[in-house]
Structure 1
Amino acid sequence: MHGSEDKDVQHSTPQADPRSKLFPRVMASLAIVGMMVGLMIGRLTTPDPSELQQVEVTNDGLVVWFNNEPKTHGEFVDGSLALLFESEGKAQRGQLMINDKSANWRVRLSDGGLLLTVVAARPLQGEWAASEVDDRWRLEIHLREQ
């Protein structure tokens, strides 16, 4: 063997790669650009997180306002109302009158979101209903003594 000439493919010289050396770089850059475009589209289509805007006291209960509809779970526990909202917001508290007797309400942060509790000296009953008003979400809570 004299030299490394490619005559009959019987020696140890590797074959020349016919592909361009830029091909892997082009494919990697296309993958990165595609991932970035996908992330931007995902960010644009994700809805805004639900946020508590205000709590209003009415004659027979409360009206709670949100920027959009939160997932809600509520029940009466030992005569007090507990509503859990998958939402963000700040802690608040206040009083309301039910049949000329005072009751206390409180919004606090919990692991699942915001927890609204209404407690009175006597057991409470009631119902709540939600609706969309002026691009905001309103939850009306009507309470009465048991």
Structure 2
Amino acid sequence: MHGSEDKDRLHSTPEAYTRPQLMLRVFGSLAIVGVMLGLMLGRLTQPDPVELQQVEVAPDGLLLWFNHEPKLHGEHIEGAVALLFDAQGHAQSGQLQVNQRNVNWRLRLADQGLLLNLVAARPLRGEWGGSKVDGRWRLEIHLREE
């Protein structure tokens, strides 16, 4: 052997493997298709977001109408009532009467959803409960003075 000429390929160095790595491409394509199908199925099975549709003033509180039941957290904070809904909606405000006294309410957007504050000159206590009515969720808030 006098050199590395390519005469009969018996004693020469092997050529570099030039065939494309098809299995790697096949698995990569399958992974991409699987991710895309998973994203599409997840989007189809995701429920509609909870949305506040309407706010009504009741004789001793408020009625809030949602398209689905929202997650709710409520507290009494220094004589005020605060309710946090995991829902979408727009800011609103108004006034209602409890025992012939004014109660101001304000609904505003918060980081976790919608925040409803009910404030009066005297300390308030609130009770709330929801039920499904005509395919929508109705949350009733009843207020009284302490």
Q: Same fold (TM over 0.5)?
A: yes
What residue in structure 1 maps to residue 145 of structure 2? Answer: 145
What is the percent sequence identity of the aligned residues? 59
What residue in structure 2 maps to residue 123 of structure 1? Answer: 123
Alignment CA distance shift 1:4-1:134 (3 Å): farther
What residue in structure 1 maps to residue 13 of structure 2? Answer: 12
For 2:56, what is the secondary structure of its paired residue?
strand
What residue in structure 2 maps to residue 3 of structure 1? Answer: 6
Q: Does the alignment pair 1:96 with 2:99? A: no
What residue in structure 1 maps to residue 46 of structure 2? Answer: 46
Q: TM-score, normalised by structure 1?
A: 0.86
Q: Does the alignment pair 1:24 with 2:24? A: yes
For 1:30, what is the secondary structure of its paired residue?
helix
Q: For residue 77 of structure 1, what is the amino acid of its counterpart?
A: I
Structure 2 unaligned spans of 5+: none
Question: What RMSD, in angstroms, separates the aligned Cα atoms of the two structures?
Answer: 2.1
Q: TM-score, normalised by structure 2?
A: 0.86
Alignment CA distance shift 1:5-1:85 (3 Å): farther
Q: What CA deviation, in whole Å up to 9, does each residue of 1:99-146 have, x standing for no partner?
A: 111111110112221110111111111210012222221111011111
What residue in structure 2 maps to residue 72 of structure 1? Answer: 72
> What is the rounded CA distance, in whole Å, between the counterparts of 1:105 and 1:54 in structure 2?
14
Structure 1 unaligned spans of 5+: none
Alignment CA distance shift 1:6-1:80 (3 Å): same
